[in-house]
Amino acid sequence: MLPYTWITAEAKVETVIGNLRARDREEGLGDVTLIPVMLGWKDGSWQYDLALSIYVPTGDYEVGRLANPGLNYWSINPIAGVAYSNPKTGFNAALHGGVLFNTENPDTDYRSGTLAHLEGSVQQLFPAGKGFLSLGLEGFWVEQVTADSGQRPIFGDFKGRTAGLGPVLGYVLPLGKQNFVTELRWLRELDTRNRLEGDYVWLKLVYQF
Protein backbone atom coordinates (compact mmCIF):
# COMPACT_ATOMS: atom_id res chain seq x y z
CA MET A 1 0.00 0.00 0.00
CA LEU A 2 1.33 3.43 -0.98
CA PRO A 3 -0.51 6.37 0.68
CA TYR A 4 -0.61 9.99 -0.46
CA THR A 5 -1.16 12.30 2.50
CA TRP A 6 -2.22 15.88 3.19
CA ILE A 7 -1.20 17.04 6.68
CA THR A 8 -1.91 20.28 8.53
CA ALA A 9 -0.39 20.49 12.02
CA GLU A 10 -0.71 23.20 14.66
CA ALA A 11 1.09 23.53 18.01
CA LYS A 12 0.74 25.80 21.03
CA VAL A 13 3.40 26.14 23.73
CA GLU A 14 2.58 27.97 26.96
CA THR A 15 5.49 30.04 28.32
CA VAL A 16 5.95 32.67 31.04
CA ILE A 17 5.87 35.39 28.38
CA GLY A 18 2.73 34.10 26.66
CA ASN A 19 1.61 31.43 24.21
CA LEU A 20 3.73 30.57 21.18
CA ARG A 21 1.97 29.09 18.16
CA ALA A 22 3.25 27.27 15.08
CA ARG A 23 1.51 25.91 12.01
CA ASP A 24 2.80 23.65 9.26
CA ARG A 25 1.30 22.02 6.18
CA GLU A 26 2.76 19.33 3.92
CA GLU A 27 1.63 16.80 1.36
CA GLY A 28 3.28 13.93 -0.42
CA LEU A 29 3.78 10.20 -0.57
CA GLY A 30 3.74 8.57 2.86
CA ASP A 31 5.39 5.45 4.19
CA VAL A 32 4.88 2.28 2.17
CA THR A 33 3.08 -0.59 3.93
CA LEU A 34 4.23 -4.11 3.06
CA ILE A 35 2.14 -7.16 4.03
CA PRO A 36 4.41 -10.18 3.37
CA VAL A 37 2.21 -12.59 5.37
CA MET A 38 -1.59 -12.79 5.37
CA LEU A 39 -3.56 -15.88 6.44
CA GLY A 40 -7.30 -16.42 6.67
CA TRP A 41 -9.68 -19.19 7.71
CA LYS A 42 -13.38 -19.14 6.84
CA ASP A 43 -16.07 -21.04 8.77
CA GLY A 44 -19.58 -20.27 7.56
CA SER A 45 -20.25 -16.56 8.12
CA TRP A 46 -17.11 -16.19 10.26
CA GLN A 47 -13.56 -15.45 9.10
CA TYR A 48 -10.37 -15.47 11.17
CA ASP A 49 -7.28 -13.55 10.03
CA LEU A 50 -3.59 -13.23 10.81
CA ALA A 51 -1.34 -10.69 9.10
CA LEU A 52 2.06 -9.06 9.41
CA SER A 53 2.40 -5.43 8.29
CA ILE A 54 5.73 -3.66 7.86
CA TYR A 55 5.84 0.15 7.55
CA VAL A 56 8.83 1.26 5.46
CA PRO A 57 10.19 4.84 5.96
CA THR A 58 9.82 5.99 2.34
CA GLY A 59 7.87 9.20 3.02
CA ASP A 60 9.43 12.65 3.18
CA TYR A 61 10.72 13.63 6.63
CA GLU A 62 12.52 16.68 8.02
CA VAL A 63 13.74 17.20 11.58
CA GLY A 64 11.94 20.08 13.30
CA ARG A 65 8.99 20.15 10.91
CA LEU A 66 5.56 19.76 12.49
CA ALA A 67 3.94 18.04 9.48
CA ASN A 68 5.80 15.11 7.95
CA PRO A 69 4.31 12.66 5.41
CA GLY A 70 6.80 10.03 6.64
CA LEU A 71 7.84 8.92 10.14
CA ASN A 72 11.50 8.13 9.26
CA TYR A 73 11.57 4.79 11.09
CA TRP A 74 10.51 1.20 10.51
CA SER A 75 7.55 -0.36 12.30
CA ILE A 76 6.41 -3.99 12.52
CA ASN A 77 2.77 -4.73 13.25
CA PRO A 78 1.44 -8.31 13.74
CA ILE A 79 -2.37 -8.32 13.62
CA ALA A 80 -5.09 -10.86 14.47
CA GLY A 81 -8.81 -10.47 13.85
CA VAL A 82 -12.24 -11.94 13.41
CA ALA A 83 -14.98 -10.87 11.00
CA TYR A 84 -18.65 -11.79 10.54
CA SER A 85 -20.43 -11.46 7.20
CA ASN A 86 -24.04 -12.50 6.54
CA PRO A 87 -24.78 -12.41 2.77
CA LYS A 88 -28.52 -12.90 3.37
CA THR A 89 -29.00 -9.85 5.61
CA GLY A 90 -26.05 -7.75 4.37
CA PHE A 91 -24.73 -7.26 7.90
CA ASN A 92 -20.95 -7.19 8.48
CA ALA A 93 -18.86 -6.76 11.62
CA ALA A 94 -15.12 -6.99 12.28
CA LEU A 95 -12.71 -6.71 15.19
CA HIS A 96 -8.91 -6.61 14.78
CA GLY A 97 -6.09 -6.01 17.22
CA GLY A 98 -2.33 -5.92 17.15
CA VAL A 99 0.94 -4.70 18.64
CA LEU A 100 3.09 -2.12 16.84
CA PHE A 101 6.86 -2.28 17.42
CA ASN A 102 8.85 0.83 16.37
CA THR A 103 12.54 1.18 15.56
CA GLU A 104 14.69 4.23 16.30
CA ASN A 105 14.52 7.37 14.18
CA PRO A 106 18.15 7.70 12.93
CA ASP A 107 17.88 11.48 12.45
CA THR A 108 16.76 12.19 16.03
CA ASP A 109 18.13 9.13 17.90
CA TYR A 110 14.63 8.79 19.39
CA ARG A 111 12.54 5.65 19.61
CA SER A 112 8.78 5.71 20.16
CA GLY A 113 7.37 3.06 22.49
CA THR A 114 5.37 -0.04 21.57
CA LEU A 115 1.67 0.45 20.87
CA ALA A 116 -1.30 -1.87 21.45
CA HIS A 117 -4.26 -1.14 19.19
CA LEU A 118 -7.80 -2.35 18.56
CA GLU A 119 -10.13 -1.52 15.64
CA GLY A 120 -13.79 -2.49 15.25
CA SER A 121 -16.52 -1.81 12.71
CA VAL A 122 -20.12 -2.65 11.87
CA GLN A 123 -21.65 -2.18 8.40
CA GLN A 124 -24.97 -2.78 6.72
CA LEU A 125 -25.33 -3.30 2.94
CA PHE A 126 -28.37 -2.05 1.00
CA PRO A 127 -29.21 -2.78 -2.67
CA ALA A 128 -28.51 0.36 -4.73
CA GLY A 129 -28.43 0.37 -8.54
CA LYS A 130 -26.24 -2.44 -9.86
CA GLY A 131 -24.42 -2.80 -6.55
CA PHE A 132 -24.72 -2.28 -2.82
CA LEU A 133 -24.50 0.82 -0.65
CA SER A 134 -22.62 0.33 2.62
CA LEU A 135 -23.35 2.37 5.76
CA GLY A 136 -21.38 1.76 8.91
CA LEU A 137 -19.58 2.90 12.02
CA GLU A 138 -15.93 2.37 12.92
CA GLY A 139 -13.95 2.93 16.10
CA PHE A 140 -10.34 2.53 17.23
CA TRP A 141 -8.28 2.55 20.43
CA VAL A 142 -4.49 2.94 20.72
CA GLU A 143 -2.48 2.70 23.95
CA GLN A 144 1.30 3.02 24.29
CA VAL A 145 2.48 0.20 26.55
CA THR A 146 6.23 0.94 26.75
CA ALA A 147 8.04 4.24 27.27
CA ASP A 148 9.82 6.27 24.60
CA SER A 149 13.61 6.01 24.66
CA GLY A 150 16.72 7.42 23.01
CA GLN A 151 17.64 11.01 23.75
CA ARG A 152 17.43 12.42 27.27
CA PRO A 153 13.75 11.93 28.23
CA ILE A 154 12.88 15.52 29.16
CA PHE A 155 9.17 14.62 28.94
CA GLY A 156 9.49 11.38 30.94
CA ASP A 157 8.14 8.16 29.42
CA PHE A 158 5.79 10.26 27.20
CA LYS A 159 3.30 7.40 26.76
CA GLY A 160 0.59 8.26 24.27
CA ARG A 161 -3.05 7.27 23.95
CA THR A 162 -5.86 7.96 21.53
CA ALA A 163 -9.32 6.70 20.60
CA GLY A 164 -11.73 7.66 17.84
CA LEU A 165 -15.10 7.00 16.29
CA GLY A 166 -16.74 7.90 12.99
CA PRO A 167 -18.99 6.96 10.05
CA VAL A 168 -18.13 4.80 7.03
CA LEU A 169 -19.78 5.16 3.61
CA GLY A 170 -19.06 2.77 0.77
CA TYR A 171 -20.26 1.19 -2.46
CA VAL A 172 -19.70 -2.35 -3.76
CA LEU A 173 -20.09 -2.95 -7.51
CA PRO A 174 -20.08 -6.65 -8.57
CA LEU A 175 -18.40 -7.30 -11.92
CA GLY A 176 -19.08 -10.98 -12.58
CA LYS A 177 -16.77 -12.87 -10.22
CA GLN A 178 -14.93 -9.65 -9.43
CA ASN A 179 -15.81 -6.61 -7.29
CA PHE A 180 -14.98 -2.93 -7.30
CA VAL A 181 -15.17 -1.35 -3.85
CA THR A 182 -14.96 2.31 -2.90
CA GLU A 183 -15.06 3.45 0.72
CA LEU A 184 -14.88 6.78 2.56
CA ARG A 185 -14.13 6.94 6.29
CA TRP A 186 -14.10 9.88 8.69
CA LEU A 187 -12.76 9.11 12.16
CA ARG A 188 -12.61 11.84 14.79
CA GLU A 189 -10.29 11.44 17.76
CA LEU A 190 -12.12 11.68 21.09
CA ASP A 191 -9.47 11.00 23.75
CA THR A 192 -5.85 11.92 23.03
CA ARG A 193 -2.75 12.22 25.23
CA ASN A 194 0.85 12.92 24.15
CA ARG A 195 -0.04 12.58 20.46
CA LEU A 196 -1.12 14.84 17.62
CA GLU A 197 -4.91 15.15 17.74
CA GLY A 198 -7.25 15.59 14.79
CA ASP A 199 -9.52 13.95 12.25
CA TYR A 200 -8.61 11.04 9.96
CA VAL A 201 -10.21 10.85 6.51
CA TRP A 202 -9.56 7.86 4.21
CA LEU A 203 -10.68 7.24 0.65
CA LYS A 204 -10.11 3.62 -0.35
CA LEU A 205 -10.46 2.06 -3.81
CA VAL A 206 -10.22 -1.74 -4.12
CA TYR A 207 -10.46 -4.07 -7.10
CA GLN A 208 -11.08 -7.67 -6.03
CA PHE A 209 -10.29 -10.42 -8.53
Model confidence at 17: pLDDT above 90? no
Q: Which domain holds residue 139?
A: 32-208
- 126 in any annotated domain: yes
- 74 in any annotated domain: yes
Question: Per-residue pLDDT tens for 93-121?
Answer: 999 999 999 999 999 998 999 999 999 99
Question: Per-residue pLDDT tens for 135-194?
Answer: 999 999 999 999 988 876 666 778 999 999 999 999 999 999 899 999 999 999 988 988
Cα separation values, 86 from 56, 83, 158, Å: 36, 10, 43
Name the domain count of the chain: 1
- 148 in any annotated domain: yes
- 11 in any annotated domain: no
Q: Quick one: 144 exposed, middle or buried, by C-beta within 10 A (0-12, 13-18, 19+)? A: buried
Question: Per-residue pLDDT tens for 49-96?
Answer: 999 999 999 999 999 898 999 999 999 999 999 999 998 999 999 999
